[in-house]
A = this chain, B = another copy of it.
Amino acid sequence: MTTTQYLARQLLAHKVLHVFGVPGDYSLKILDTFIKEGLQIINTCDEQGAGFAADAYARLNGLSAVCITYCVGGLKVTNPIAEAYAEKSPVLVISGAPGISERKKDPLLHHKVKDFNTQLKVFEALTVYAAILENPRDIGEQILKAIWLALQYKRPAYLEIPRDMATAEIAMPDEVSISGDFHSDPKALEEALTEAKQMIEAATQPLILADVEIQRFGLQKELEQLTEATGIPVSATLLGKSVIAETHPHYIGVYEGATGSEEVCAFFEKSDCLILLGVFMTDITLGSTRSVLDMGKCIYATSEKLMIRHHTFEDVRFEDFVRGLLSLNIRKTLPQNLPHPSIPSIDRIDENQSVSVNSFFTIVNTFLSSQTVVIADVGESLFGSIDLVIHESTEFISPAYYASVGFSIPAAIGAALAKPHLIPFVICGDGAFQMTGIELSTTCRYKLHPIILLLNNSGYSTERIFLDGPFNDLMNWNYSKITELLGCGKSCVVKTNRELKKAIERAIETRDSFWLIEVVIDAADRSKALRRMAQRIMP
């Protein structure tokens, strides 16, 4: 079996059916073999789009792959791959490259930067595993290791395939030996769980804060069982939004120190036992001006660290700890006086009025169901989404921590391919659309039908609250005319609440291409979350 055949079969074995990318001469043989092995190649307009699409696909599918050419392709996916690293998304980067035999004497082959290790060095800074496949004896093991580490850490890995290695016959690796021994130390686990149980039972108001690792490690069911068995209420971070159905009676809403609701913040601060599950301790989550978290009341478990109060436990796996909590038979206390995310009332919306940020999210909320996946871009698209109530089984994805603008439209490509039964609802701003909106072309090419809600508020509105200047302005496009340029898709512009409602209804009814709904918003309008952030961060 050759390198590329083996790699293709490993991808298929992990349910990766699509590979995103843009071709280049160093990667042609890889793409050709992938097709022959039954993978579908998804060509985006630009490699950046392939990177974001692969990130979204990995979040929903558990693993993904992006295949690009050397440097001119690879260096265009550094930002999406950094995002996948930062927010834990297992993307396999497969880069074509000059052949090993061509590299002798260090010639200037096209696309080379400093030396033949430049791209490797860059990806070493952005992945959990990076290797050049140079020896047919080792290649099989390198492929298995890359995939295993990506799955273990939920983070990207990098494989560089010199073109003369793409078709090389390789030695078959021992699949069992690679995956290695990665179990919890039973004594450490037991000690940690015992201490956790004591803390929780001694507390009068424990609270679980759940973040994205719950989703990445597939522990949503366990989380639900845990809150139901113990009565401990649950809050979610913005990045982790939708790890539990937001309609669940024990769910109190999104906790975001900088932007979240006062009610949830107050409940969080009053809690005397915080169970932080898979939480990224980010500046956005913890808030820029809130008091420092008292670790003395925290049980802090992630895939990288288990810390109870001020001490850490080594060799305890995140999954084992979460499942362990469930098996502890913690005394059940019925939660009382819980805040609940208030479902914004559609009845208060005047249909004849212009759309505001608030009415926009209220209206969108009425269309969400277990058949939708919401993909929010950065800025108001994300802040406003705090108030969406995500139903059971509904998915919500966003780059809420890494915050790379332009993620959402290419991400919709990945989401639509990973979960073809869901309707992608993309919420993005004009700034994001100008970066990557052109990838709607790719949705036409592969017959995907996302619904794009473009919040046009005339510029980078989130930045305006920090420091405004002409650099926060944007050219105002006739966004809906993108259908003319691409020769496909459907679009409209809406200004009133009634028009917005009708447009979404029509888009859901006639899903045979992408639908772009441009929603014109007053440039001075702000979401509640953004107003809270402005108040809390500003002096």
Contacts and interface: CB of A to CB of B under 8 A. Distances in A.
Interface of A: 21, 23-25, 28-29, 31-32, 35, 41, 43, 45-46, 48, 71-72, 75-76, 78-79, 82-83, 85-86, 107-114, 118, 121-122, 124-126, 280-284, 401-406, 434-436, 438, 441-442, 444-445, 460, 462-463, 466-467, 469-479, 481-482, 484-488
- By Cβ-Cβ distance, the 4 closest A-B pairs, closest first, are A75-B79, A108-B282, A72-B404, A45-B434
A114 B126 CA distance: 7
Contacts of A463: 23-25, 28
11 contacts: A35-B470, A43-B474, A46-B48, A48-B76, A71-B402, A75-B82, A78-B78, A82-B113, A110-B403, A113-B125, A121-B125
Given A111-B402, A444-B475, 13 more contacts: A25-B462, A25-B463, A28-B463, A28-B471, A43-B470, A43-B471, A46-B434, A46-B436, A78-B79, A86-B113, A108-B282, A476-B487, A477-B486
A417 to B, nearest CB: 16
Contacts of A109: 282-283
A484 B478 CA distance: 7
A436 B476 CA distance: 18
A481 B485 contact: yes
Contact of A467 (B28, B86, B445, B467): B28
A260 to B, nearest CB: 15
Nearest to A102: B283
A122 B484 contact: no
A335 B371 CA distance: 77
Contact of A45 (B32, B112, B282, B435): B435
Contacts of A107: 281-283
B45 A466 contact: no
B110 A469 contact: no
A111 B403 contact: yes
B444 A108 contact: no
A126 B108 contact: no
A67 to B, nearest CB: 9
A48 B45 contact: no
Given A125-B114, A441-B475, A32 B467 contact: yes
Given A24-B463, A114-B125, A72 B108 contact: no
Contacts of A436: 46
A411 to B, nearest CB: 14
B31 A471 contact: yes
A438 B434 contact: yes
Contacts of A474: 43
Contact of A78 (B75, B110, B405, B484): B75
Given A43-B471, A46-B434, A108 B401 contact: yes
Nearest to A472: B23
A82 to B, nearest CB: 4
Contacts of A441: 434, 475, 477
Identify which of A83, A280, A475 gathers the most chain B CB atoms within 10 Å of its CB: A475
B475 A445 contact: yes
A445 B470 CA distance: 11
Contacts of A404: 72, 111
A29 B110 contact: no
B475 A485 contact: no
A211 B189 CA distance: 65
Contacts of A112: 86
A436 B21 CA distance: 16
A55 to B, nearest CB: 13
A471 B78 contact: no
A280 B111 CA distance: 13
A484 B484 CA distance: 8
A252 B445 CA distance: 46
Identify which of A23, A25, A281, A462 gathers the most chain B CB atoms within 10 Å of its CB: A23
A438 B402 CA distance: 25
Nearest to A107: B283
A350 B48 CA distance: 42
Nearest to A280: B108
A82 B118 contact: yes
A453 to B, nearest CB: 18
A281 B108 contact: yes
A401 B71 CA distance: 12
Contacts of A470: 35, 41, 43
Identify which of A126, A477, A479 gathers the most chain B CB atoms within 10 Å of its CB: A477
A482 B481 CA distance: 8
Nearest to A26: B466
A498 B23 CA distance: 35
A487 B493 CA distance: 15
Identify which of A24, A35, A401, A472 gathers the most chain B CB atoms within 10 Å of its CB: A24
Nearest to A120: B125
Nearest to A400: B110
A338 to B, nearest CB: 28
